[in-house]
């Protein structure tokens, strides 16, 4: 399903990371944290849509929030839009983070890195509303790259690692996870390949550990095989867009 959504807010979060709030009826069918929308670049010469995870879903105001890093012509063109402009959006797409099995007072560990943290925000919100206790570990390059700390603090305990030690803990998310002694009923992770690869291995035996993969996409709906990843048995493939982007740990080769 696709529809034009109106931009009601466009805010710079860090040097090249922007938060866009989009409004429209399509939001009414967005429910699952970890799903993504496929945004048409507002330039006729750039044909491929850009897959962007949902950071917030607000049914009351019919808005959804996405966070993008302006890293190429397509994403730059999207973040250059102004309030009142509209974007053609397809979605919601993919399989998000399973949270239905968790109950009040369960514990969840959320692990995010850089531009991969936004889908964990909606996940943390929905877990918090279920009474799940969230421990949230976020990794960034340095202090100036940190965003959404205040937003995550609404939903749980937040620990931040920076590569250069310029804010909170020096190191990466594994530095923090190594020091945690709680057991968790579920693990949710999203971030760059190094992070998801680490979590895929670190929690490979955990029964409820999930990673969300970032992958370049074309169709976004399982039709082009442009986003294939290999099953750990090496005998079958998955499509990140339609079988994922969320997978259990030890399910695919990263």
Identity of the residue, 78 or 159, whose beta carbon is nearer to ligand FES in the bound complex: 78
CA distance 37 to 211: 18
CA distance 138 to 124: 13
φ, ψ of residue 232 to 5 degrees: the values are -60, -20
Identity of the residue, 34 or 220, whose beta carbon is nearer to ligand FES in the bound complex: 220
Identity of the residue, 42 or 226, whose beta carbon is nearer to ligand FES in the bound complex: 226
Residues 213-252 that bind ligand FES (CB under 6 A): 217-220, 222-227, 239, 241
Identity of the residue, 99 or 213, whose beta carbon is nearer to ligand FES in the bound complex: 213
For residue 170, the surrounding DSSP H or E stretch is strand 169-170
Q: 190, exposed or middle or buried, with CB in 10 Å at 0-12, 13-18, 19+?
A: buried
Candidates 56-64, 155-163, 176-184, 211-219: pick the segment binding ligand FES (CB under 6 A): 211-219
CA distance 250 to 205: 8
Task: Judge contact between 98 and 210, C-beta under 8 A.
Answer: yes
Candidates 9-17, 141-149, 163-171, 212-220: pick the segment binding ligand FES (CB under 6 A): 212-220
DSSP tag of 107:
E
**Matching residue, tokens 């804010």:** 167
Closest CA to 139 of 148, 151, 130: 148
Q: How far is the CB of 223 from ligand FES (least distance, A)?
A: 5
Dihedral angle at the C-alpha atoms of 155, 159, 163, 167, nearest 10 degrees? 100
109 binds ligand FES (CB under 6 A): no
Per-residue x/- track, 166-205, ligand FES (CB under 6 A): ----------------------------------------
Identity of the residue, 51 or 156, whose beta carbon is nearer to ligand FES in the bound complex: 51
With CB under 6 A as the rule, give the number of residues binding ligand FES. Answer: 12
Q: How far is the CB of 254 from ligand FES (least distance, A)?
A: 16
Helices (H), 117-249: 118-129, 149-153, 173-177, 193-202
Task: Judge contact between 186 and 178, C-beta under 8 A.
Answer: no
Identity of the residue, 29 or 225, whose beta carbon is nearer to ligand FES in the bound complex: 225
Interacting residue ranges for ligand FES, rule: CB under 6 A? 217-220, 222-227, 239, 241
């Amino acid at each position: 399903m696709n529809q034009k959504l109106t931009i009601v807010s466009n805010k710079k979060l860090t040097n090249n990371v922007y938060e866009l709030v989009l409004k429209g009826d399509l939001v009414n069918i967005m429910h699952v944290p970890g799903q993504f929308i496929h945004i048409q670049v507002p330039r006729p010469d750039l044909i491929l849509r850009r897959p962007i995870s949902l950071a917030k879903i607000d049914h009351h105001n019919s808005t959804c929030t996405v966070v993008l890093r302006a890293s190429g012509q397509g994403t730059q063109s999207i973040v250059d839009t102004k309030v009142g402009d509209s974007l053609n959006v397809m979605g919601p797409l993919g399989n998000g983070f399973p949270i239905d099995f968790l109950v009040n007072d369960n514990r969840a560990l959320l692990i995010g890195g850089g531009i991969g943290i936004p889908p964990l925000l909606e996940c943390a919100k929905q877990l918090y509303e279920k009474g799940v206790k969230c421990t949230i570990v976020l990794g960034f390059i340095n202090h100036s790259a940190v965003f959404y700390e205040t937003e995550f603090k609404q939903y749980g305990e937040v620990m931040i690692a920076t590569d250069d030690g310029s804010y909170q803990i020096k190191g990466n998310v594994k530095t923090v996870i190594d020091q945690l002694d709680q057991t968790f009923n579920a693990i949710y992770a999203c971030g760059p390949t190094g992070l998801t690869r680490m979590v895929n291995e670190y929690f490979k035996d955990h029964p409820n550990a999930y990673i969300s993969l970032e992958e370049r996409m074309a169709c976004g709906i399982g039709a082009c095989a442009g986003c294939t990843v290999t099953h750990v048995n090496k005998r079958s493939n998955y499509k990140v867009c339609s079988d994922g982007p969320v997978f259990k740990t030890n399910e695919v080769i990263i």
